[in-house]
């Protein structure tokens, strides 16, 4: 069974993205993190339509790490409700999925 997840979150600045990615990897909460700069985020907040230039993090991890990863992101973010969404990975190269599993075991 494949327990790999793709977790998506955003941060406001490049250095925050890099620091968060390195900290998550150091804690073995993910195997690989892609940082996509200048993601235009448009959202509704307190009845206002807001636009923000953010950095999108694509975090490859395991289901068994998700709870700790979510807690870690919340503790290291300034947003009141940081967006953290986990998507199941239904398929992938078996060797790559195996590497993610190996890399996230403490």
* pLDDT tens-place string over residues 38-76: 999 999 989 999 999 999 999 999 999 999 999 999 998
Q: Looking at per-residue confidence, does 32 or 2 come out higher?
A: 32
Q: How many domains does the chain have?
A: 1
Quick one: pLDDT at residue 34? 99
Q: CATH no. for residue 68?
A: 3.30.70.120
Domain span at 46: 4-103
* Residue 16, phi then psi, degrees to nearest 5: -65, -40
Quick one: pLDDT at residue 2? 81
């Amino acid at each position: 069974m494949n327990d790999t997840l793709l977790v998506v979150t955003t941060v406001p600045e490049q250095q925050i993205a890099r620091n968060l990615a390195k900290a998550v990897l150091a804690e073995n909460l993910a195997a690989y993190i892609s940082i996509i700069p200048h993601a235009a985020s448009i959202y509704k907040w307190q009845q206002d339509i807001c636009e923000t230039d953010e950095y999108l993090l694509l975090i490859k991890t395991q289901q068994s790490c998700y709870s700790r990863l979510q807690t870690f992101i919340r503790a290291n973010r300034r947003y009141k409700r940081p967006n953290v969404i986990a998507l199941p990975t239904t398929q992938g190269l078996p060797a790559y999925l195996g590497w993610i599993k190996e890399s996230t075991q403490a």
